[in-house]
Amino acid sequence: MSDIIEKTLASLPKLFSDGPRGSPGEKTMPQKKIMGRAFQGFLCSVSRCRSLTEEKTYITHELKQIQESLNRTDVSQGTVGELLFRLIYCHLLGYDVSFGFIHTIKLAQQGTGLEKRMGYIAAILLLHQDHELSLLLMNTIQKDLQSTNILDNCIALSAVCHLVQSDGGVISMMLPLVQKKLQHPRELVRMRAACCILRFIRLTPSYQRHLQDNCRKLLYDKDPGVMSIGVKIQLQLLKSGLQSIETLTSDLCSILQQIMNRSLPSSFEYHGIPLPWLQIDILRALACLGKENKKNSESMYPLLRDLLDKFNTKARMSYAVMYECIVTITRIVPHRALLTEASVRVKRFIGSTSYVLKYIGVKALTHLIAVSPESITDCQMIVVELLEDPDPAIQSKTVDLLFSMANESNVKVVCSKLIEHLARPRKDFSESELIDRILTLTEKYSLDGVWGYDMVLTILREERSGLPRDMVDRVLNQLSQVLNYPRDTSRQVPEAVQSLVKKSVQGLFQENCSKELVKIASWVLSECSFLLKNMPDDKVMSLLQKQFLRESLDTLTRLWILSCVTSLLCGGIVQPGVVTKAVRDMRDRCVSFCDTTQDYTLLQKLLECERLCAQPLTVDPQGRDLTQFDFTLSYLDDFVCDSLEGETKPYIHKNLRMSPLKVDPLFSGFAENAGSGSVASDSSGKPTKSATSDSKNVDLKLEGVSRVWGEEGFLEPDTSVVDSHHAESDQKQRELEKKQELAAALFSGFHSQSKSDAQDKERKDLWSEDVPLNLNSTSLDWRALSAEESERKGSSTEEMDRQEADRRDPGSVLLDLSDQEKSTEGVLSQDPLSVDDTEHVQQGHEQSCGESQDSKTTTHQHEQSVGLSVNQKGGGGIQGMNYLSREPPPLSFESFPEDRIQDSSEQFSGLYDGVEEEEDDDSESQGDSVYSLSQLDLDTVRVRGEVRGSGAVCDSDSDGGSRQGSELSLYSQYQVLEDSHDSEHNEKVS
Amino acid sequence: MMQFMLLFSRQGKLRLQKWYIAHPDKLKKKITRELVALVLSRKPKMCSFLEWKDLKVVYKRYASLYFCCAIEAEDNELLTLEVIHRYVELLDKYFGSVCELDIIFNFEKAYFMLDELLLGGEVQETSKKNVLKAIAAQDLLQEESEEPKSLLEEMGFVSGP
């Protein structure tokens, strides 16, 4: 099928270029066209245009003609419709067709039937909700909503969906009409009305409360299509946090159960999967409901488990549902066994050869890792390989995964990988996010500060456009924690601080580092200026000077450098003479390269520096407290007195001044003095340490500094070890080793965790014990929750049985139910996951049946046993399985030996916990001859039949009694068939 | 919620566009241009998903036509891929065996069908049968007098029977 399409489509361009000589093929067009010959001719001429200019001349000419014709009054409505569709085509090609907008509205208003429809379609396509002209259509929409014509209703509702805008009273005007349509007898209309409601809720959340009742009713609609929209609306309500109905969980669960039992019409199946869209919406809603809600989560567990087991892995759609199911499992209150199951599925996703599935697998793993970190241990190698994947989309998803799996022990490797990723060519918007993530990691796991600083320096090694805005602040915050060690002359400066300074100097040696690096490094140098004592002053100064004179720097960064120079000077690290020379040089250059716009801030700061050099202000090495600031400015007293004795006027406050004063010499001098004073107090306020005690510890070797810098990497020691070990082995082996090394480093945090987890599990599985799988909470039937309390126990064991049987026979995943859809199935390539493990189970199944059955009937049996009783195509004794798909017939409480039931129910709940435990229980139960659980479903049914026979409790009356509730259910019509089969079976068994 | 859907040929010619969010035409054109270039530059072995600005782009190539949808960050990509597939199935069923020319010359039908499938960016009708029924009902609206003309005949590729 797909081949044919492929061929037909592949020959098309040739057909176009070759013209009549190309072989046309036998293409039939059964359906009628709306447009006439002229329209087709128009399209042909457009597609015949050889060049863009030719097309442009033709279309501008055509548009002019269309405009003329539209403005004429004698054209028929059909012609107007055709002209409008020409406009749509021109619009598609990118031409301006705004002159036709008003005609679309006119046609929708005046036309009837098809013409009206064409007008609406054109309006929907050409206008949008914020367009001013769309308001003109509202009156027409209202009229058509009240019409008795269903098609008019439908198209008007579509228009409401597309064109009603959020503000203004338009929604409130439309709402009553749309609400009325929710009661329309035809589901086609109801569905569209429901879509409109969903749209309204999205646009104006304030309507949510008002519409809640309507939305609730939609959930019980008898048409599955309308119900799907109802679930969508509930999901929207849940997301906005407004929904608080208690019974919603059980309702959604029972809908899901029904879908899984295939009690809904088969026309809603998609490639053999019943209502996948609805399933996904329900799963999402359940994820919202079960989040941090233990009670809700518990009622979902059995259902989710069932769903995971039932997947038909041949259809692509089932992967979508499976992914959503896994996400739901990770969102709700965690359940160990389910998470283990989910991790098995995720592994298959990731190991798939299909890129699409790999991508989804990585996404699912990212979700999974947040709740159960140990699940990743099995797919280490795959993850490491995915990091090197040629597809950037998969790479970026893997980076997400890395970020979420970072922990104390692997954070260094993760970060180095992230930085490696940063070096690859990419778009700007993801760069910012990536840097943000690295920063977050360094903040979260700041082991010693030095490593984090290293990361930052690596990021900033070159100019980047996508840096987070608060990056410098975040880094400085982090650094100040490291620098904030107890200042004590007797103790040595911590190793970390020394290396910070060393790295800053190294960083400044780079010619083209980013300006953020310059800022951060100069801040570090000024904070720890005392550590630079050993460095020759001219070297430090020339370093700063070189950075200062870089053309690409802005004023702000230069000011950072200057304040660093100032604090070095005040700390007595550099000699005033050296600084004066350097500052003069800087000023000259500064004036020369910014001649057009003088940068006065910079010049002033430079002058201040020069002043400071002239009167060197040595700072008390022990540092002074902030309290020692001289806020009265007493040191200016002499100066002020001298000036006042002269001709100068006293200072008048700005508010008291009547007219703007001329700036007199007093204030110009004042500014400079105050400036230098503030600088001095600034640096003196900083607690600095006596340089004499440190001089021994600090030895900054500046030769070869850049070389060390360039080769620094985290994996280097590891790989070199590996290389030496495997020097003789071939290249491939070495690469593999490298990857394993990386994997070991990456997943180091998870090994220990998982080990301890395993131990935990051996001892006692706490999680699964305190969460009993109470199956009564999920009714099998649509809202038929009326099973009597006295019957609960009996039915629960049966349900357990059924669940057990389902779970034990994953052979059903091999079932191909997509026969009906086969005609188009081939269009997509299929990527089935491996289902090896299911095969041997199936073999066991066949043996246990003890009959000569081919595999087809075996799977068929299973299909029925799990309640896939839609098709009813099985014959003979196999039909006996049928009643399992329904709510099991109740067992009379009195006549059944009570201890036995309890015994079995305990067994079953134990069985449900985990695979390991299951086998133990199996062996036990084999001793118990009645409940031989190692047999598969057919046997289980027989056994149950025996039990019933002996108990003489199973008669059709009680069977019918329990279903009285379900008679009221909305989907009872789909269950009639099953009922008849059930009774048939009951007779047989008993 | 789906943001928009684009159909374009391997040559980068737009064949169909449907927007579920309000953008001015200028922005639409810019987005289309960027996206078409991005998708066309992808290699066949790469996966069908892309992250583009704050959206996710899901595309799939059927013969010479690319179907490309933009969805929101929390949407399910695989599901969107199946929506595209469902649309192709519908087109296929309706046109016999669909090809690019069918969509060019009957784009109004393609729009009708898309409207039946998706409404306001959400999947509306999940039953294939119901969609085809709705389209058939619309076809009945057409005048009976109009005679079906073969597409190829129209183009002058073959002489009429």
- DSSP code for A778: S
Cα–Cα distance list, B23 to A97, A388, A979, B28, B39 (Å): 16, 38, 55, 6, 21
Distance CA A884, CA A866 (A): 7
Best residue in A12, A46, A77, A355 for a mutation probing chain B (most B CBs within 10 Å): A12
Residues of A in contact with B115 (CB under 8 A): 121, 124, 158
The confidence score (pLDDT) of residue A945 equals 42
Does the distance separating the beta carbons of A277 and B128 come in below 8 Å?
A: no
pLDDT tier at B59, thresholds 50, 70, 90: very high
Joined tokens for residue A699? 């030895």
CB A261 within 8 A of CB A279: no
Joined tokens for residue B122? 């959400």
- Comparing alpha-carbon positions, the chain B residue that sits nearest to A428 is B53
Mean pLDDT of B13-29: 89
Distance CA A300, CA A287 (A): 10
Nearest C-alpha of chain B: how many angstroms from A449? 33
- DSSP code for B147: P
The identity of residue A545, as a single letter, is Q
Q: Give the mean pLDDT per block of 10 residues along chain A (990 residues).
A: 47 42 37 65 84 88 89 83 88 87 87 83 85 84 86 87 77 86 86 89 82 82 87 87 74 87 82 85 88 84 85 79 89 86 84 84 87 76 79 80 80 80 66 80 75 80 75 82 65 73 80 81 80 74 80 79 82 77 80 65 81 67 53 80 82 71 46 40 39 40 40 37 49 76 69 46 42 39 38 47 47 38 40 42 44 42 40 39 38 41 42 40 41 40 44 41 40 41 45
Nearest C-alpha of chain B: how many angstroms from A249? 22
CB proximity A44 to B under 8 Å: yes
CB A264 within 8 A of CB A235: no
Closest CA to A222 of A247, A267, A176, A186: A186
- Comparing alpha-carbon positions, the chain A residue that sits nearest to B123 is A277
CB A87 within 8 A of CB A121: no
In B63-137, beta strands by DSSP E = 65-71, 118-119, 122-123
Best residue in B59, B122, B131, B153 for a mutation probing chain A (most A CBs within 10 Å): B122
The confidence score (pLDDT) of residue A30 equals 43
- Comparing alpha-carbon positions, the chain A residue that sits nearest to B122 is A195
The confidence score (pLDDT) of residue A721 equals 39
- A51 φψ region: left (φ > 0), alpha (ψ -120 to 50), beta (else): beta
The confidence score (pLDDT) of residue B159 equals 38
Does the distance separating the beta carbons of A12 and B45 come in below 8 Å?
A: no
Collapse the DSSP code of A449 into the 3-class scheme (helix H, G, I; strand E, B; otherwise coil) and give the result.
coil
Q: Taking 50 as the threshold, does the pLDDT of residue B128 lie above it?
A: yes
CB A71 within 8 A of CB A110: no
Residues of A in contact with B26 (CB under 8 A): none
Distance CA A120, CA A132 (A): 16
The confidence score (pLDDT) of residue B5 equals 93
CB proximity B141 to A under 8 Å: yes
Residues of A in contact with B116 (CB under 8 A): none
- Comparing alpha-carbon positions, the chain B residue that sits nearest to A233 is B122
Q: Which of B17, B99, B148 sits opposite A9 (nearest CB)?
A: B99
Closest CA to A842 of A815, A821, A816: A815
Residues of B in contact with A32 (CB under 8 A): 139, 142, 146, 148
Task: Name the one residue in this structure whose structure tokens are 């300074």.
Answer: A501
Q: Which of B20, B79, B120 sits opposite A280 (nearest CB)?
A: B79
Residues of B in contact with A394 (CB under 8 A): 47
Complex ipTM, two decimals? 0.85
CB A521 within 8 A of CB A508: yes
Cα–Cα distance list, B28 to A883, B24, B32, B34 (Å): 56, 6, 6, 10
Q: How buried is residue B54: exposed, middle or buried, by Cβ count under 10 Å (0-12/13-18/19+)? A: exposed
**Interfacial B residues in 74-133 facing A (CB < 8 Å):** 76-79, 81-82, 85-86, 88-89, 92-101, 104-109, 111-112, 115, 119-120, 122-130
pLDDT tier at B54, thresholds 50, 70, 90: confident
Q: Which of B17, B25, B126 sits opposite A268 (nearest CB)?
A: B126
Does the distance separating the beta carbons of B148 and A827 come in below 8 Å?
A: no
Q: Which of B15, B20, B64 sits opposite A13 (nearest CB)?
A: B64
Joined tokens for residue A24? 């046309």
Distance CA A491, CA A531 (A): 14
CB proximity A158 to B under 8 Å: yes
Residues of B in contact with A276 (CB under 8 A): 79, 82, 126
- DSSP code for A865: H
pLDDT tier at B141, thresholds 50, 70, 90: low
CB proximity A162 to B under 8 Å: yes
Q: Which of A192, A275, A430 sits opposite B119 (nearest CB)?
A: A192
Distance CA A559, CA A640 (A): 30
Distance CA A169, CA A750 (A): 57
Count other Cβ atoms within 10 Å, centred on residue A361. Answer: 30
**Interfacial A residues in 227-266 facing B (CB < 8 Å):** 228-229, 232, 265
The confidence score (pLDDT) of residue A35 equals 64
Helices (H) and strands (E) in chain A, counts: 49, 2
Cα–Cα distance list, A721 to A316, A411, A710, A729, A735 (Å): 45, 21, 20, 14, 13
The confidence score (pLDDT) of residue A619 equals 56
Does the distance separating the beta carbons of B115 and A270 come in below 8 Å?
A: no
Distance CA A691, CA A733 (A): 54
Joined tokens for residue B124? 């509306």
Nearest C-alpha of chain A: how many angstroms from B94? 8
Give residue A291's Cα distance to chain centre: 17
Nearest C-alpha of chain A: how many angstroms from B73? 12
- HEC assignment per residue over A869-936: CCCCCCCHHHHHHHHHHCCCCCCCCCCCCHHHHHHHHHHHHHHCCCHHHHHHHHHHHHHCCCCCCCCC
Does the distance separating the beta carbons of A267 and B127 come in below 8 Å?
A: yes
Distance CA A948, CA A987 (A): 12
Give residue A166's Cα distance to chain centre: 27
Q: Which of A128, A320, A827 sits opposite B62 (nearest CB)?
A: A827
Does the distance separating the beta carbons of A35 and B108 come in below 8 Å?
A: yes
Residues of A in contact with B5 (CB under 8 A): none
Joined tokens for residue A116? 């009206």
The gap between the terminal CA atoms of chain A, to the nearest Å, is 50
Residues of B in contact with A107 (CB under 8 A): none
CB proximity B44 to A under 8 Å: no
Does the distance separating the beta carbons of A43 and B125 come in below 8 Å?
A: no
- DSSP code for A33: P
Nearest C-alpha of chain A: how many angstroms from B69? 15
A/B interface, count of CB pairs below 8 Å? 231
The confidence score (pLDDT) of residue A416 equals 81
Q: Taking 90 as the threshold, does the pLDDT of residue B8 lie above it?
A: yes
CB proximity B151 to A under 8 Å: yes
Best residue in A55, A107, A233, A828 for a mutation probing chain B (most B CBs within 10 Å): A828
Task: Provide the H-helix boundaries in A352-470.
Answer: 355-371, 380-387, 392-405, 411-422, 428-444, 450-459
Give residue A8's Cα distance to chain centre: 39
Distance CA B128, CA A270 (A): 8
